[in-house]
Amino acid sequence: MRMCEFATTSRKGTCGKELFAWARYKRGDIPESGEFDYIDGRVKAKFPNAELVYMKRRFVPVASPAEPTEVWWEYKWIVFNRKEGGASCK
């Protein structure tokens, strides 16, 4: 189970709008399907054509030499530019 609310941001990429969401979890925990459905639903409500391109996790850095006990799970969607005759993104 996540330890905090999802944080979100977006930016304009070369292929279209890139949307990001991430949340902190205890090490070893994975997002539950309801948690993913919640954030994916928020994205799809605003951008119905958004496509999830990856989800990954990273350890939260710690200042001491101890092992990390928390991870960030990050998601990325792209709303591709759909212009007639435009170049494709690969």
**Tens-place pLDDT, residues 13-30:** 888 999 999 999 998 888
Reply yes or no on whether the pLDDT at 90 is more than 90: no
Please indicate, yes or no, if residue 2 is contained in any of the structural domains.
no
* pLDDT for 89: 63
Q: Mean pLDDT score of the chain, rounded to an integer?
A: 87
pLDDT score recorded for residue 14: 85
Which residue range(s) make up the domain with 33?
7-80
| 36-46 tens-digit pLDDT | 999 999 999 99
8 A C-beta contact, residue 23 and residue 36: no
Partnered with residue 72 across adjacent β-strands are 24, 58
| Calpha distance 36→21 (Å, rounded) | 10
Which pLDDT belongs to residue 5?
83
pTM for the model stands at 0.79
Q: Please check whether residue 87 lies inside any domain of the structure.
A: no
**How far apart (Å, rounded) are the C-alpha atoms in residues 29 and 3?**
10
Task: Please choose, from the candidates 52, 57, 60, the residue with its C-alpha nearest in 3D space to the C-alpha of residue 76.
Answer: 52
Q: Which residues contact 28 (CB under 8 A, 6 or more apart)?
A: none
Question: What total number of domains does the chain contain?
Answer: 1
